Amino acid sequence: MRLRLLKATLTLGLCIVLTGALFAPLNAAVAAEEQSLQAVPSYVNPITGQIEDQGNNPGLGQGMVENLILKTPATLLIDAEGTVFITFRVGLVEESKDFRIELLDENGAVKKAVPYNIVAEQPDKNTQDLQISVPSVDSILRVSLVSIPMGREVVGFLQFAPEGEAVEIPVAEIDNEVNDEALSIYANTGNDGVTGVADEDRGPLLTFLGIAGAILFFIVGIAIIATLRKKQKSQQ
C-alpha cells in the first residue's frame, strides 16, 4: 500500500511538471509585446521602383494588389526571445493558388522564402489570416500567387507601418504596352472599407485552458492519494 501511495505521489508530481512544460509557451506569449500595424501593399517594388508583374499596369495593378493583400490592421508580436511575428489578411482566396512570400534584401532582390501559417479563415469573406516570422518590422516582402481566373502569376509587394501612419505608396510610369483586361478582375479597391482585425488574440483563452488543466491534474492527483490513504488506514 505504501508503494502505491508513493507511485501516486510521483505520478501527481510528474503531471504537474508536464503541465507546466506544456503551457510554458502560453505564458511567454502573454508576456510578449503585441502592437497593431497596417499592411501596405504595393504593385511596385518599394526599393527598386520596378514592376515585376507581367500585367505591367501601375494604374490597375495597385488596386489588384490591394484586393489580394488587404489593408486591414495587421498584428505585430515580439516574443520573449525577440522573434518578430506579423499576422495579416489576404483576400480572393478561392480565386488564387500557389501563394508565396519572399524576403527582399537591401537591393530589392529576393533573399529567401518566408514560410507562413494560416491562423484563421473567413470563408464567407473569402479571406485568410497569415502569420509570418521576419527579421524586423521594417522587412519588405515580395508576394506572388497564381490567379486562377487570369491564368497567370501575379506579383506585388508588402511592407508594414504603424497603424494610422500615412504611407506613400511607390508608383512607376510604364511605357510598354499593357493589358487592362488581364488586370480588370482584381482592379477594384473594395477592401478599403474592411475594418476587421487580421489576428485573433487567443492568448487569454489558451492560458485559461492551461491553468484549468493544471488544476484538474492536481485535484485528480489529490483525490487518488486521499483514496489510497483511506484504504491504507482501513486495512491497519
pLDDT in tens, the chain (236 residues): 555 544 555 454 555 544 555 555 544 444 457 899 999 999 999 999 999 999 888 888 999 999 999 988 899 999 989 999 999 999 999 999 999 999 999 999 999 999 999 999 999 999 999 999 999 999 999 999 999 999 999 999 999 999 888 777 777 654 444 555 545 445 544 444 433 333 344 445 445 555 656 566 556 566 666 666 666 666 65
CA-atom Rg of the chain in angstroms: 26
CA nearest neighbour of 218 among 6, 1, 9, 4 = 9
For the chain, the distance separating the N- and C-terminal CA atoms, rounded to the nearest angstrom, is 11
Q: pTM score, two decimals? A: 0.64
Choices 2.60.40.1850, 3.90.1150.10, 2.60.40.1180, 3.20.20.220: CATH for 33-200: 2.60.40.1850
Rounded Cα distance between 70 and 158, Å, is 10
